[in-house]
Amino acid sequence: MNKILIQATDLSMKFEQKIIFQKLSFAIRQGDFFCILGPNGSGKTTLLRIILQQLTPTSGTLKSVVSLRQMGYVPQFRNLDADYPLSAKAFVALKLSHSLRPWLNRQEKDRVQQALAKTHLTAKQNLRLGQMSGGEKQHSYLAQAIVDQPQLLILDEPTASLDEQAKFEVMDVVQELNQQGTTVIFITHDPELLQRYGNSQRLILPGGNN
């Protein structure tokens, strides 16, 4: 069995008096393609925010051997305005930008190119994100999330609202990254994606419907 990266024990979350989930226990191991399922409002994003250390659970513990720097995050699909000014390359490079040294060194530029290549964006890297298709935008978010080579990639419904072909193209990239050793945590509502990619661990959150 691979090493445990994240161990949750009796994890519970309430917002004021509202119970979101109770006594969740699970382990995420190195190399997992770990799927989180559950109805709207069952706390999937809340659980991700606990893993990303943006929220503290009401009770229970979450132990992680992965630092925040080693986590890459792809949010739910958000459409960007058509006049969004950055190119895909500049958008990916943003993640590596420094306040003290506002340019990238050779090694960092290579990493940007590697992330663009892995997400099949090399030929489109100079296109502005605003002009890209939904699938290409989501590839750009994925490229940005992997540019500093995270150990753990966290995806919150990354393909919601994409068409069939774009959805599989994004997920094929995620699967390749997983096969190359990146651990993946993946929220989805989509039974087709689960059947096709979710052959590893699953956590089903029971609550929901606000």
Ligand X SMILES: Nc1ncnc2c1ncn2[C@@H]1O[C@H](COP(=O)(O)OP(=O)(O)OP(=O)(O)O)[C@@H](O)[C@H]1O
Minimum CB distance to ligand X smaller for 44 or for 111: 44
Q: Which residue has the tokens 């050779």?
A: 106
Cα separations in angstroms, 131 against 7, 84, 85, 126: 41, 8, 9, 11
Site string for ligand X, 119-148 (x = CB under 6 A): ------------------------------
CA distance 207 to 42: 5
Does 58 bind ligand X (CB under 6 A)? Our answer is no
Q: What are 22's two structure tokens?
A: 């109770």
Q: Does 75 bind ligand X (CB under 6 A)?
A: no
* Cα 100–Cα 105–Cα 107 angle in degrees, nearest 5: 130
Contacting residue, 33, 43, 51, 153, with ligand X by CB under 6 A:
43
Does residue 38 bind ligand X (CB under 6 A)? yes
Q: How many residues does the chain have?
A: 210
- Which residue, 194, 197, 191, is CA-closest to 175? 197
Give how many residues touch ligand X by CB under 6 A: 11
Q: Which of 7, 12, 45, 70 is in the footprint of ligand X by CB under 6 A? A: 45
The answer to whether 19 and 208 are in contact (CB under 8 A) is: no
210 binds ligand X (CB under 6 A): yes
Give 130 or 208: the residue with its C-beta nearer to ligand X.
208
Q: To the nearest whole angstrom, how small is the minimum distance from the Cβ of residue 45 to ligand X? A: 3
CA-angle at 140, arms to 179 and 171, nearest 5°: 35
Q: Where are the alpha helices (DSSP H) in the chain?
A: 44-51, 88-94, 106-118, 134-146, 164-179, 191-197
| Candidate segments 38-46, 84-92, 140-148, 169-177, binder of ligand X by CB under 6 A | 38-46
Closest contact distance (angstroms) between CB of 8 and ligand X is 15
Q: Which of residues 5-34 bind ligand X (CB under 6 A)?
A: 15, 20
Question: Binding of ligand X at residue 57 (CB under 6 A)?
Answer: no
Q: Does 41 bind ligand X (CB under 6 A)?
A: yes
Closest among 147, 126, 139, 128 to 165, alpha carbons compared = 139
The yes or no reply on residue 158 touching ligand X (CB under 6 A) is no
Task: Tell me the residue type at 129.
Answer: L
**Judged by CB under 6 A, does residue 42 bind ligand X?**
yes
Closest approach of Cβ 183 to ligand X, in Å? 20
Contacts to ligand X by CB under 6 A: 15, 20, 38, 40-46, 210
